[in-house]
Amino acid sequence: MKLEIDTYDGSLIYDLFPIERQSIHTEYKATEGSAITFDGRTISKVYGVPETVSFSVKINSKEQVADFVEWLFPRVKQKAISVRLNRRIVDYLDKDLLKRKMEDEYNRILE
Protein backbone atom coordinates (compact mmCIF):
# COMPACT_ATOMS: atom_id res chain seq x y z
CA MET A 1 0.00 0.00 0.00
CA LYS A 2 1.29 3.45 -0.85
CA LEU A 3 0.68 6.38 1.54
CA GLU A 4 1.36 10.02 0.73
CA ILE A 5 0.95 12.66 3.41
CA ASP A 6 0.98 16.39 2.68
CA THR A 7 2.21 18.58 5.51
CA TYR A 8 3.64 21.99 6.37
CA ASP A 9 5.46 20.47 9.34
CA GLY A 10 8.92 19.28 8.32
CA SER A 11 9.27 17.19 11.47
CA LEU A 12 6.62 14.67 10.37
CA ILE A 13 9.23 12.60 8.58
CA TYR A 14 11.16 12.18 11.84
CA ASP A 15 8.01 11.12 13.67
CA LEU A 16 7.38 8.40 11.09
CA PHE A 17 11.00 7.29 10.68
CA PRO A 18 12.78 7.82 14.03
CA ILE A 19 16.23 7.15 12.65
CA GLU A 20 19.06 9.60 12.10
CA ARG A 21 19.11 9.49 8.31
CA GLN A 22 16.22 8.70 6.06
CA SER A 23 17.22 7.34 2.70
CA ILE A 24 15.11 5.95 -0.11
CA HIS A 25 13.93 2.37 0.51
CA THR A 26 14.81 2.43 4.21
CA GLU A 27 12.45 0.02 5.96
CA TYR A 28 11.28 0.66 9.49
CA LYS A 29 9.20 -1.68 11.64
CA ALA A 30 6.11 0.25 12.68
CA THR A 31 4.24 -2.38 14.69
CA GLU A 32 4.34 -6.13 15.13
CA GLY A 33 3.36 -7.37 11.68
CA SER A 34 3.74 -4.08 9.78
CA ALA A 35 6.59 -2.11 8.30
CA ILE A 36 6.93 1.13 6.38
CA THR A 37 9.44 1.85 3.63
CA PHE A 38 10.49 5.43 2.93
CA ASP A 39 9.83 6.28 -0.73
CA GLY A 40 10.78 9.94 -0.71
CA ARG A 41 9.96 13.47 0.25
CA THR A 42 8.86 16.18 -2.16
CA ILE A 43 9.63 19.73 -1.11
CA SER A 44 8.37 22.61 -3.22
CA LYS A 45 10.28 25.88 -3.44
CA VAL A 46 7.00 27.72 -3.91
CA TYR A 47 5.71 29.41 -0.76
CA GLY A 48 2.52 27.90 0.62
CA VAL A 49 2.84 24.52 -1.09
CA PRO A 50 3.12 21.66 1.42
CA GLU A 51 5.78 18.98 1.28
CA THR A 52 4.77 15.40 0.60
CA VAL A 53 6.14 12.41 2.51
CA SER A 54 5.70 9.16 0.59
CA PHE A 55 6.06 5.67 1.96
CA SER A 56 4.94 2.11 1.34
CA VAL A 57 3.19 0.04 3.98
CA LYS A 58 3.49 -3.72 4.39
CA ILE A 59 0.86 -5.30 6.60
CA ASN A 60 0.87 -9.05 7.18
CA SER A 61 -2.83 -9.53 7.95
CA LYS A 62 -6.09 -7.61 7.93
CA GLU A 63 -6.23 -7.76 11.74
CA GLN A 64 -2.99 -5.79 11.93
CA VAL A 65 -4.42 -2.86 9.97
CA ALA A 66 -6.02 -1.55 13.19
CA ASP A 67 -2.68 -1.77 15.01
CA PHE A 68 -0.96 0.14 12.22
CA VAL A 69 -3.61 2.88 12.24
CA GLU A 70 -3.24 3.14 16.04
CA TRP A 71 0.49 3.65 15.50
CA LEU A 72 0.12 6.08 12.57
CA PHE A 73 -2.76 8.32 13.62
CA PRO A 74 -1.15 10.08 16.64
CA ARG A 75 1.87 10.93 14.48
CA VAL A 76 -0.11 12.56 11.66
CA LYS A 77 -3.32 13.91 13.22
CA GLN A 78 -2.00 17.42 13.96
CA LYS A 79 0.53 17.60 11.13
CA ALA A 80 -1.17 16.20 8.02
CA ILE A 81 -3.05 18.41 5.61
CA SER A 82 -4.16 15.55 3.41
CA VAL A 83 -3.58 11.81 3.15
CA ARG A 84 -3.63 9.75 -0.03
CA LEU A 85 -3.88 5.98 0.12
CA ASN A 86 -2.92 4.36 -3.20
CA ARG A 87 -3.61 7.73 -4.86
CA ARG A 88 -7.09 7.93 -3.34
CA ILE A 89 -7.68 10.89 -1.07
CA VAL A 90 -8.89 10.17 2.45
CA ASP A 91 -11.63 12.80 2.74
CA TYR A 92 -10.87 14.00 6.24
CA LEU A 93 -8.42 12.74 8.80
CA ASP A 94 -10.35 10.54 11.17
CA LYS A 95 -8.96 7.38 12.78
CA ASP A 96 -12.00 5.21 12.00
CA LEU A 97 -12.21 6.43 8.41
CA LEU A 98 -8.50 5.83 7.86
CA LYS A 99 -8.81 2.34 9.31
CA ARG A 100 -11.80 1.54 7.11
CA LYS A 101 -10.09 2.87 3.97
CA MET A 102 -6.93 0.88 4.73
CA GLU A 103 -8.95 -2.29 5.31
CA ASP A 104 -10.76 -1.72 2.00
CA GLU A 105 -7.44 -1.26 0.19
CA TYR A 106 -6.01 -4.33 1.88
CA ASN A 107 -9.00 -6.40 0.71
CA ARG A 108 -8.76 -4.88 -2.79
CA ILE A 109 -5.08 -5.82 -3.05
CA LEU A 110 -5.81 -9.41 -2.02
CA GLU A 111 -8.47 -9.87 -4.71
All residues at 6 or more sequence positions from 109 whose CB lies less than 8 Å from its CB, including other chains? 1
Domain that includes residue 35, residue range: 2-110
Q: The whole model's pTM is what?
A: 0.87
> Contact, 82 vs 89, CB < 8 A?
yes
In the chain, which residues have pLDDT < 50? none
Predicted pLDDT of residue 49: 92
The pLDDT score that the predictor gives to residue 3 is 94
Structural domain count, the chain: 1
